[in-house]
Structure formats: structure tokens, C-alpha cells
């Protein structure tokens, strides 16, 4: 048998056992990796939730009545009003602006908006040297120039909206709440990752009602979380986009509109402005078939220092939230450009109504409210689970 060496039985047994031992070791390594991964995701889920829970609860609680803002304000503030001269020709926009400014001498116009269901023009003006963000708001009856009752928000609803938007801190508050929205998204994603191993051990939607209270709440927390995951991600993402509204509009003004002001040497004083009424008609001709929404005067965040920005929107449930401005040279009254909104401004315009379910009627708002209530239960149960676990550990 030449140089062939016969292996003993023990050697054959050891050789056959080696691959099996290696496989067992590899499986053990994978299990340890899975355990470490789950612990990491659990840590991410716990702290992203704990840091943001209080603020997210505030946002959910204040957001619940804000979903029904139009309905509540119609019920709380509905006042009968009729124009003074409904059969007359009415005032043009230059006359309306002059009437409004005569009531606040020295003010410069900032915005002009138009009620949809009554002949009222709302003029917003400000003092040139006044504090930032301080405006005078005047609804004007277009049929004769008399003051009209404002369609303003109810004080309680205004308070809730301000609390929900920026917790009365302005831009820093908006950015802070946007950060809480990002933590919400992280908490949801990590929660889905943690729920996946549980689903391999039990059927989807398992509720162990015979177990202790903490186990029952854990099952409800998991079930409601996985059922509402898509909605929570949508509301969280749109909330983050809405929190970035001021930087988004500033970037749009500094980039997309920068070329329109490069050739201008100096701003025109209000007394040198071209006819507003003619400017709106020229903008309407440039964007036919659309509905006039509002006018931003030179020097505001929605315009440049040298243009009227005349905004129009569409008439479908989707396009009614998408605005397109026609920019009119404030000196000559000529059309300067139709500034189609870039994608990030469109995303902002669509995020605002989507965040509150305000594009599908009352039925969608009720669905939004039910999902909001489910999210409150998720947040509350998560806090309860953490507190009881901490108490048991002690």
C-alpha cells in the first residue's frame, strides 16, 4: 500500500466532528451578534422615546383639536355678516389698500389676502421701525371700504396652534420640535425592528390578556405601534418638514429668486410703486385658470425687495395647496417671472395640510383623530412600561 496511511477510528471520528463543532461555534457567534444587535436597538428605542415622549404627548394632545380647526372655529365664531353694498361695483385693490393704510398712517403693506366666501380683502401692514413680527391686520369690505369683522381664529385655537408650532419660542422652538419629530421617527423604526423577533414567536396581534398588567400593556403597546406605524411616520416626517418652513422659504428666496434682483440697484419707496390692481391683473393673465390667493409686497419673506409676488393656487384637492407666484416689477408693473415653486417648497406646501389631514373632508379628519388617540396611548403605555420596569429593577 505504498505511502498510504490508514486513519484510526478515533481520528475519523474527530474529523467528522470538526465541521459540526465549527457550525455550532458559528451559530453561537450569530446568536451573540443578534443579542448585541437587539440590545443596541432596544437602547436606541428606549432613549429616543424617553427623550421625546413629553413633547410628543404635548404635540398629540394639542394636535387633536387642531385637526378640527375649521369646524370648531365655524361653531365658535360663526357670525352673520353681509356686505354694505353687494350690488355695487366695489373698490379696486389700489383703493382698498389706500383705505387700509389711511387707518394706520406710516404703515407699509406686507400682505393682502382674499376671503373665499365673502367680498372681503384682508390687508396686513407693519410699521417700518416696529418690532419684527408685529403686524396690523385689517379686513376691508370691498363693496364700500368699511371695516369687516375678521375671520380670525378663536383665542384658544390660536394658543394651541402656537404651542403646537413653536412652543412660543419662534424659530428655535420650531427647530427643537422638529428634532423631537426626528426622534419619533427613530423610535418608530427601532420599535419595528424589535417587534420583528416577537412576531416569529407569536402570531401577529397577540394579546396575552391572561398575563400580568405589564405584559398586557406591552402587547397593546406593540400592537397599536405596528398598526399605526405608517401614519406615525407620515405625521412625523411632515412635522419635521413644517418645522423647517422658515429656512426653506429663506433658501428659496436667496437662491431661486436671487437672479431676479441682481440687476436692481435700489428698492423703490411705496410712493413709487406701480398700480397694485394692474399688477394683479397682469399676473392673472400669466396664470389663467387659477385662483388668486394672496399678494406679498416688496420686502417680505414671500417676495423680493423689488417685486409684487402674486400667488395663485389650483382648484383640485391637491393643487389647492400648491401655490405659484407671478412676480411683477414694482416700478414698471411688468411681469418679471412666473416663479414655479421648486420641489422643496412643494414638499412644504403639501406637508402642512397632510400633517393635519386637511385635504379629504371630515371623514379623513376623524380617522386622523382616532390615530392621534392611538398614538397618545402608545406614548403613555411606553412611559408606563419604562417606569414599571425601573420599579421592578429596584
Q: What is the pLDDT along the chain (394 residues), one digit of tens a residue?
A: 444 555 455 554 555 555 555 445 545 544 665 778 888 888 998 899 999 999 999 999 999 999 998 888 778 776 677 787 887 778 999 999 999 999 999 899 999 999 888 889 999 999 887 776 788 899 999 999 998 887 766 788 889 999 999 999 989 999 999 999 999 999 999 888 888 777 677 677 677 878 888 888 888 888 888 889 999 999 999 999 999 998 988 888 778 766 665 555 556 777 789 999 999 999 999 988 888 999 999 988 888 888 899 999 887 777 777 888 889 999 899 998 887 788 888 888 888 888 888 877 788 899 999 999 999 999 999 888 888 876 666 5
pLDDT at residue number 63: 92
Residue 229: CB atoms within 10 Å: 15
Distance of CA 323 to the CA centre of its chain: 16
Say if CB 274 and CB 330 are below 8 A apart. Answer: yes
Say if CB 42 and CB 385 are below 8 A apart. Answer: no
CA quadruple 31, 32, 38, 42: dihedral sign: positive
pLDDT at residue number 265: 55
Domains and CATH numbers, the chain: 86-152 (3.30.505), 169-236+353-394 (no CATH), 257-341 (3.10.450)
pLDDT at residue number 59: 94
CA neighbor of 114 nearest in space, from 278, 295, 299: 295
pLDDT at residue number 16: 52
Q: How far is CA 67 from CA 217, 237, 357, 368, in A?
A: 27, 17, 7, 7
pLDDT at residue number 29: 43
Distance CA 234, CA 240 (A): 10
pLDDT at residue number 1: 43
Assigned C-alpha cell, 3: 505511502
List beta partners, residue 292.
312
Which helix (H) or strand (E) covers residue 328, if one does?
strand 323-329
Say if CB 302 and CB 296 are below 8 A apart. Answer: yes
CA neighbor of 372 nearest in space, from 58, 100, 118: 58
Q: What is the pTM of this model?
A: 0.75
Using alpha carbons only, how large is the chain's radius of gyration in Å? 31
CA neighbor of 370 nearest in space, from 63, 56, 54, 49: 63
72-81 long-range contacts, CB within 8 A, separation 24+: 72/154, 72/157, 73/153, 73/154, 73/157, 76/154, 76/157, 77/151, 77/152, 77/154, 79/149, 81/118, 81/148, 81/149
Largest CA distance in the chain: 122
> Phi/psi class of residue 361: alpha, beta or left (left: φ > 0; alpha: ψ in -120 to 50)?
left
Amino acid at each position: 500500500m505504498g505511502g498510504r496511511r490508514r486513519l484510526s477510528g478515533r481520528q475519523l471520528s474527530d474529523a467528522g466532528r470538526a465541521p459540526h463543532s465549527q457550525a455550532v461555534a458559528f451559530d453561537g457567534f450569530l446568536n451573540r451578534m443578534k443579542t448585541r444587535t437587539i440590545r443596541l436597538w432596544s437602547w436606541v428605542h428606549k432613549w429616543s422615546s424617553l427623550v421625546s415622549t413629553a413633547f410628543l404627548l404635548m404635540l398629540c394632545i394639542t394636535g387633536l383639536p387642531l385637526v378640527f380647526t375649521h369646524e370648531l372655529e365655524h361653531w365658535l365664531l360663526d357670525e352673520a355678516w353681509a356686505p354694505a353694498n353687494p350690488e355695487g361695483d366695489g373698490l379696486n385693490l389700489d383703493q382698498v389698500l389706500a383705505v387700509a393704510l389711511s387707518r394706520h398712517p406710516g404703515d407699509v403693506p406686507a400682505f393682502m389676502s382674499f376671503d373665499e366666501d365673502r367680498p372681503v380683502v384682508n390687508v396686513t401692514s407693519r410699521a417700518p421701525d416696529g418690532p419684527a413680527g408685529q403686524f396690523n391686520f385689517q379686513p376691508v369690505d370691498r363693496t364700500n371700504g368699511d371695516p369687516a369683522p375678521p375671520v380670525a381664529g378663536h383665542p384658544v385655537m390660536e394658543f394651541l396652534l402656537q404651542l403646537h408650532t413653536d412652543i412660543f419660542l419662534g424659530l428655535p422652538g420650531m427647530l427643537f420640535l422638529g428634532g423631537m419629530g426626528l426622534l419619533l421617527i427613530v423610535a418608530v423604526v427601532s420599535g419595528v425592528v424589535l417587534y420583528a423577533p416577537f412576531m416569529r414567536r407569536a402570531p401577529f396581534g397577540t394579546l396575552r390578556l391572561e398575563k400580568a398588567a405589564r405584559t398586557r400593556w406591552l402587547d397593546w403597546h406593540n400592537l397599536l405601534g405596528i398598526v399605526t406605524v405608517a401614519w406615525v411616520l407620515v405625521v412625523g416626517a411632515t412635522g419635521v418638514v413644517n418645522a423647517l418652513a422658515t429656512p426653506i422659504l429663506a433658501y428659496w428666496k436667496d437662491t431661486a429668486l436671487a437672479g431676479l434682483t441682481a440687476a436692481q440697484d435700489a428698492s423703490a419707496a411705496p410712493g413709487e410703486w406701480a398700480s397694485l390692481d394692474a399688477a394683479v391683473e397682469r399676473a392673472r393673465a400669466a396664470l389663467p385658470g387659477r385662483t388668486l390667493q394672496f399678494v406679498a409686497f416688496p420686502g417680505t419673506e414671500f417676495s423680493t425687495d423689488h417685486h409684487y409676488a402674486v400667488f395663485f393656487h389650483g382648484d383640485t384637492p391637491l393643487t389647492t395647496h400648491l401655490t405659484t407666484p407671478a412676480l411683477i416689477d414694482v416700478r414698471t408693473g411688468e411681469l418679471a417671472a412666473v416663479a414655479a415653486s421648486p420641489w422643496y417648497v412643494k414638499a412644504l406646501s403639501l406637508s402642512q395640510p397632510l400633517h393635519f389631514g386637511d385635504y379629504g373632508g371630515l371623514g379623513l379628519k376623524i380617522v386622523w383623530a382616532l390615530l392621534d388617540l392611538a398614538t397618545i396611548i402608545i406614548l403613555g403605555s411606553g412611559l408606563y412600561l419604562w417606569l414599571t420596569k425601573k420599579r421592578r429593577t429596584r
